[in-house]
Amino acid sequence: MTRGDRLTSSLASLQHARERLRADDGRVPLAAVAREARLSVGELIRRFAAVFGETPHRYRSRERLARSKALLARGERSVTEVCMDVGFSSVGSFSAWFARGAGVAPTTYRSRVRALIDLPASSPESLQPGCMSLLEGALAQGFVTSSAISKKHRAAVCGQTGAHGLKESA
C-alpha cells in the first residue's frame, strides 16, 4: 500500500467516524468509534482534531445541540422527548447542558424561536395576493381606473382568478 493509499484510507475512516459520531447522539462510546476506524482513542482524537479542526467530543456536542435546537424549533415534541431523542436520560441534565450551549433553557429557546416563525392569526378571507394589494393602491391613488382592469386582466397579472388565491375551474 502506497503512502497516498494510506492517507486516503485514513481520511475515509475519519469521515466514517465523524458520520458515526453525528448519527449516534452520544450513545456509542468513542472507544467503539476508534475501534471501527482501526485507531486508538488517543490517535482518533489527534487525527480528528487535525483534519476537522475540533475534537470528536466537541463535534458530537455541537451536532447534538444543533439537532436539539431543530427539534425544539419544530415544536412537535416535548422537551422530555427531545432530551431522549438526542441521547440524554435526564431532563435536568439535558436542560443544564442545553442552557450552557445555547445560552437559554430549552423551553425559553422554543418560545423565542416559535415567536419568530409563527404567523399572526388571520382568517383566509383577509389573505390576498400581493399584486392585488398593489392594484388596490394604484386604484386609490388614481393611477388606474377600475374600468380599465377587467377580471380577465387581473387574472393574467396575478396568475389567479378566484377568491382566496384559488384558480377557478372553467
Same domain, yes or no, for 32 and 8? yes
Verify that 161 and 139 share a domain, yes or no: yes
d(CA 155, CA 169) in angstroms, rounded, equals 13
Q: Which domain holds residue 74?
A: 63-118
104: domain CATH number?
1.10.10.60
pLDDT score of 10: 79
Do 5 and 43 have their domain in common? yes
Output the CA torsion sign for 14, 18, 23, 29.
positive
Q: Total domain count for the chain?
A: 3
Three-state secondary structure along the chain? CCHHHHHHHHHHHHHHHHHHHHHHCCCCCHHHHHHHCCCCHHHHHHHHHHHHCCCHHHHHHHHHHHHHHHHHHHCCCCHHHHHHHCCCCCHHHHHHHHHHHHCCCHHHHHHHHHHHHCCCCCCHHHCCCHHHHHHHHHHHHCCCCHHHCCHHHHHHHHCCCCHHHCCCCC
The confidence score (pLDDT) of residue 162 equals 45
Residue 112 lies in a domain: yes
The model's pTM is 0.61
Q: 154 lies in a domain?
A: yes
**Do 44 and 75 fall into the same domain?**
no
Intervals of the chain under pLDDT 50: 119, 123, 160-170
Q: What is the pLDDT of residue 12?
A: 87
pLDDT at 50: 92
User: What per-residue confidence (pLDDT) applies to 5?
Assistant: 55
State whether 104 and 81 are in the same domain: yes
Question: Is 89 in the same domain as 109?
Answer: yes
Q: Are residues 71 and 104 in the same domain?
A: yes
